[in-house]
Chains A and B, each alone.
Chain A
Amino acid sequence: MLKKLVGASVPLLAAVTAFFFGAIMLVALGANPFEGFQAMLEGAFGSGERIATTAVRATPLILVGAGISIAFRARVINIGGESQIIAGALLSTVLALNAPDLPAILLVPLVLATGAVGGFLAGAVPGLLKAHAHVNEILSTIMLNLIMVQFMNYLLGGPLIDPLQTSAGTFIPQTERLSDNAALPTLVSGTRLHLGVPVAVLAAVAAFVLLWKTPLGFRLRAVGHNADAAKAAGINVKRHITYALAISGSFGGLAGSILVFGSEGQRMVTDGSAAGFTGSAGFNGIVAALFGGLHPLWTIPSAFLFGALLTGAVQLQRVLQVPASLAVTINGIVVLFVISSAKLRGYIEGRIADRVTESEEPPDDPGPLADVAIGSLDDPIQNPIDSSDGVV
């Protein structure tokens, strides 16, 4: 008990230290740090409506994080979250534009499914490239992010542009307002809490079930654990690498359709950059996944708290009139401090365990952070194909 308490307090202290740095910066900017943290807290949790906004903000992070967990378990890195989100959003938008009159009971599930398909396809490309052409997935997913942004700009500024934008001469690259039948229904009136939030949570649970309760999940993890052994056991390694990235991508794609059909605007619009549409969920989802120990279920609270940091940051800027980049900086420091605390915590827990003579406590799971830091999963970079010449 003591061990767990002390252990859990280490990352907490790390976070406190990080926020202490944030406080110093606030003071340097002439702001009251207590007011600052209060603003962040109020912005993220101050009312039911704000909590709902935080949950909505966390939704794509949950999905991307759960998807990344799947890929990482098969030892492939998916940095292509941005491209997969965009692909899912575009495909589901095309569907909604072409079938606006379907009843909501059909259209809502259809746009969500189409989003997942879009992401699946965008994930399958780096998967196939890795499996069959030895193109490292870090390279291909980074490049695909760049490609999909331009494709989005092309479609929204060209074939999919709202005809009103052309006739009015304003040329905003956005679609016309999408069918109300496709809108994700709001669950709690007066807030933005919409169907996408429980869908994301269920999807994360599905990712967990897939990985640990199905034969496919077993094979994916087997490929990630030891590609040679998996091949010896008759698993088609190439195919499962493709599956891993494609399935991972489908979660991002689902996030994309949720961003479109759960947005306040009910249309897809681009400011020319990926982040303008995704809010960098493709990257922030990686952080959420890693804080959650690359475990789909732990990604849920982890994404929620990261979402809180993001919504709190908006309030911080608004109330204290400090640059938005301050919140970004604090986020970076929090990530670095908390991730650094894993070893210290293991060390302290070890010391306490040595002293406590009555060792009824079973050996503790070191927890997600420690798992990432010390466990065997942190070299997903290693290419299972390349590292074992002769395989496949």
Chain B
Amino acid sequence: MGDFFTASVLVATIASGVRLATPYLLAGLGETIGQKSGVLNLGVDGVMQLSAFFAYYTVLKTGNLWYGSLAAIGVGLVMGLIYAVITIEFEATQGISGIGIFILGLGLSDLLFRELVGTPKPIRRLPSVDIPLLSDIPKVGEALFQHNLLTYTAFVFVPLSVLLLSRTTFGLNVRAVGENPHAADSLGVSVERTRYAAILIGNAMAGLAGAALVLGLGIFQPNLTQGLGFIAVALVYFGSWRPAGVMAGALLYGMVNATVLQWKALNIIPVSGSVLANMAPAVITIVALAFLARRGSAPAALSQPFSRH
């Protein structure tokens, strides 16, 4: 156990936790914005899979990490548009539509990978970028300020999401539409347009989460996310629809995972206890929510299709 509480190991564990938290955070923030507008999207995982594939494939072909990230955002937007048309224009039930998107993304990313790539080939990984000055702080700098740009982006999106939701007209509209779409409609807020925008933003962030995942790994494999997107949806509930809460959930989940892996590497968790230790992130997330969190209130119109009659 003593080995764990050395500075270098703690720093590496925190850095690992931050890396692990990144895709959850990006996808979770996107889902938060969508849900705030009253739209539940269970398809996050599928969007992440497909955008991760396109990010990977773009980098494989062009070698350019920016193009890869943009491709992922593009895929997120396209999937978001499909989801928006299905749930807004056709007023389809959101739960099942999301699962449809999930199945589609899971299948299509696998299919495209098989047909276009086949055997996993490594690509460039996102380089870590040191933040000037901050990264020079002993220990702290190494743990927090030597990450890749998409990790920083994820954390910068936390305050930005808060500002977007609470300080902009668009954010007010989003919340109004999520709480009482008919009232918002009667005040001249376009429910459809607001939800379109919220879905597109949310899915673009899910796309970016896919990019962060695959470009952090430098390799793609079918079913890359392993259900990560569903956990991201769960973390929205953990965070009670507040971006900071989602961040807390993502960091908690990532940190517990990182700690378990570090303890396994140090043999603090012996091989015989390895399987049971794998339960820790999920157990601790549930327990933390049960003991720490106050009840949050869901947007009142969450998952209700809007129709003027």
A142 touches B303 (CB 8 A): no
Residues of A within 8 A of B238 (CB): 139
Given contacts A154-B276, A342-B92, A387-B297, contact A332 B230 (CB under 8 A): no
A143 touches B286 (CB 8 A): yes
- Least distance between B254 CB and chain A CB atoms (Å): 14
Residues of A within 8 A of B279 (CB): 146-147, 150-151
Binds A, one of B9-17, B104-112, B134-142: B104-112
Does B237 have its Cβ within 8 Å of any Cβ on chain A?
Answer: yes
Does A144 have its Cβ within 8 Å of any Cβ on chain B?
Answer: yes
B222 touches A325 (CB 8 A): yes
Binds B, one of A49-57, A89-97, A164-172, A373-381: A373-381
Q: Which of A79, A286, A335, A379 has most B Cβ within 10 Å?
A: A379
Alpha-carbon gap, A326 to B103, bound state (A): 11
Closest to B290 in A: A133
Alpha-carbon gap, A142 to B230, bound state (A): 7
Tell me which of B89, B290, B307 contacts A135 (CB under 8 A): B290
Residues of B within 8 A of A138 (CB): 233-234, 237
- Least distance between A36 CB and chain B CB atoms (Å): 14
- Least distance between B180 CB and chain A CB atoms (Å): 13
Q: Is the interface of A mostly helix, strand, loop or mixed?
A: helix
Within 8 A of A (CB), among B49-104: 82, 85-86, 89-97, 99-104
Closest to A372 in B: B93
Alpha-carbon gap, A301 to B303, bound state (A): 26
A382 touches B111 (CB 8 A): no
A153 touches B95 (CB 8 A): no
Alpha-carbon gap, A133 to B103, bound state (A): 32
Q: Per-residue CB proximity of B289-300 to A under 8 Å, as 1/0?
A: 111011111101
A379 touches B97 (CB 8 A): no
Tell me which of A25, A325, A343, A372 contacts B114 (CB under 8 A): A325
Q: Is the interface of B mostly helix, strand, loop or mixed?
A: helix
Residues of B within 8 A of A133 (CB): 289-291
Q: Per-residue CB proximity of B116-137 to A under 8 Å, as 1/0?
A: 0000000000000000000000
A373 touches B92 (CB 8 A): yes
Alpha-carbon gap, A381 to B96, bound state (A): 13
Does B283 have its Cβ within 8 Å of any Cβ on chain A?
Answer: yes
Residues of B within 8 A of A142 (CB): 230-231, 233-234
Q: Which of A133, A151, A327 has most B Cβ within 10 Å?
A: A133
Residues of B within 8 A of A326 (CB): 107, 111
Given contacts A142-B231, A323-B114, A326-B111, contact A381 B86 (CB under 8 A): no
- Least distance between B37 CB and chain A CB atoms (Å): 14
Closest to A151 in B: B279
Alpha-carbon gap, A181 to B90, bound state (A): 52
Residues of A within 8 A of B99 (CB): 283, 286-287, 335
Does A205 have its Cβ within 8 Å of any Cβ on chain B?
Answer: no
Closest to B297 in A: A386
* B: number of interface residues (CB 8 Å): 62
B234 touches A339 (CB 8 A): no
Residues of A within 8 A of B286 (CB): 129, 135, 139-140, 143-144
Does B302 have its Cβ within 8 Å of any Cβ on chain A?
Answer: yes
Given contacts A143-B234, A290-B95, contact A343 B90 (CB under 8 A): yes
Residues of A within 8 A of B82 (CB): 336
Does A185 have its Cβ within 8 Å of any Cβ on chain B?
Answer: no
Alpha-carbon gap, A327 to B289, bound state (A): 38
Does A177 have its Cβ within 8 Å of any Cβ on chain B?
Answer: no
- Least distance between A275 CB and chain B CB atoms (Å): 9
Tell me which of A327, A329, A336, A374 contacts B86 (CB under 8 A): A336
Alpha-carbon gap, A135 to B295, bound state (A): 8
Given contacts A138-B234, A332-B105, A379-B302, contact A286 B275 (CB under 8 A): no
Does A266 have its Cβ within 8 Å of any Cβ on chain B?
Answer: no
Does B278 have its Cβ within 8 Å of any Cβ on chain A?
Answer: yes
Alpha-carbon gap, A98 to B104, bound state (A): 43
B275 touches A339 (CB 8 A): no
Does A263 have its Cβ within 8 Å of any Cβ on chain B?
Answer: no
Closest to B253 in A: A143
Alpha-carbon gap, A143 to B290, bound state (A): 13
A144 touches B282 (CB 8 A): yes
Residues of A within 8 A of B285 (CB): 139, 143
Given contacts A150-B278, A329-B108, A329-B111, 5 further A-B contacts (CB under 8 A): A135-B290, A150-B279, A336-B97, A382-B303, A386-B295
The 3 closest A-B pairs by CB, nearest first: A332-B104, A328-B107, A329-B107
Please name 19 pairs of A and B residues whose Cβ atoms are closer than 8 Å in the assembled complex, sorted by A.
Answer: A139-B238, A143-B286, A146-B227, A146-B231, A146-B282, A147-B279, A150-B276, A287-B99, A287-B100, A325-B107, A328-B107, A333-B100, A335-B97, A339-B96, A340-B86, A343-B92, A372-B93, A374-B91, A378-B305
